[in-house]
Amino acid sequence: MAAELNGKIAIVTGAGSGIGQAITRLFCAEGAWVLAVDRDANGLAETLGQCPPGQFGELVGDVTDAALPDAIRKALPGPLDILINNAGVGAGGMIEATSDDDLRRFFEINVVGLFRLARMGVELMKKRGGSIVNLASIFAEIGATSSAAYSASKGAVASLTRQMATDYGPIGIRVNSLGPGLIETPLTRDRIRDQAWRRTIFIDQAPLRRVGQPEDVANAALFLASDRSAFITGELLRVDGGWAMGRYPRETI
């Protein structure tokens, strides 16, 4: 079977760990040339250590830096086909425990930084079309405990995705988002292990009865980035083991 992304040029932000790392490695394996972007140089080195030589570039940078889009433009070897806006921040608290500074931080990283890169992606794809995939969250659709600023920021990502899909579909740019549920990454692993209530709500009460892995999200990103989803735009694809459909008892038929 031919590689899904042969000859494609892609950008993946937050590529140094977790979901971004899994996406970068999968895209390289599927034939894309990937520009891996992260503020953690060591994380980038770990990610790219498993990618074929000559199949990637790396850029140490922070999505909150307004100069990052220009640095990315200079690092690309050719026309952009795919942009994966993965970099983001999670956790948080209830609204009365969320300061103005906390709120600004979530929006600066999850929304403003993503917005700038999405704008850059549109500019680079205008002549040829392409696919933009924004990492939202299942919390963009479903209320969850103690995530006021995070949920608000991811809701903004989902709305921006729909608007961009409407605006740029006529010139061949598809824009979709992913809604991961509980995914086991370096940022969530300790919480999954130490918080029994989290395991009960997100694993025991989900239809598939397991925690998600970064590779689960990477496979969904590959689908949305590839020509297999050529007639899909403006969607939020849930990758949550069925959790968002509702809570389910442990008993099975």
DSSP string, 50-115: TSPTTSEEEEE--TT-TTHHHHHHHH-SS---EEEE---------GGG--HHHHHHHHIIIIIIHH
pLDDT band at 248 (very low <50, low <70, confident <90, very high): low
Q: Where are the domains of the chain?
A: 9-184+215-234
- If you average pLDDT over every residue of the chain, what do you get? 93
Residue of 56, 115, 139, 150 marked active site? 150
150: annotated active-site residue: yes
In order of 8, 51, 221, the CA distances from 188 in angstroms are 31, 25, 20
- pLDDT tens-digit readout, 158-215: 999 999 999 999 999 999 999 999 898 877 777 777 777 667 777 778 888 888 899 9
CATH class of 9-184+215-234: alpha beta
Q: Which amino acid is at 66?
A: A
Which residue, among 181, 185, 236, has the nearest Cα to 210 in the 3D structure?
181
Higher pLDDT, 67 or 143: 67
Which residue, among 100, 144, 109, has the nearest Cα to 243 in the 3D structure?
144
Q: What is the mean pLDDT of residues 108-130?
A: 98
Tell me how far apart the alpha carbons of residues 156 and 150 are, in angstroms, rounded to a whole number: 10
Residue indicated by tokens 């694993």: 203
Q: What is the mean pLDDT of residues 76-95?
A: 94
Comparing 7-21, 26-40, 201-215, which segment has the lowest mean pLDDT? 201-215
Tell me how far apart the alpha carbons of residues 68 and 15 are, in angstroms, rounded to a whole number: 15
Radius of gyration of the chain (CA): 18
Tell me how far apart the alpha carbons of residues 238 and 248 are, in angstroms, rounded to a whole number: 17
Which residue, among 153, 73, 67, has the nearest Cα to 109 in the 3D structure?
153
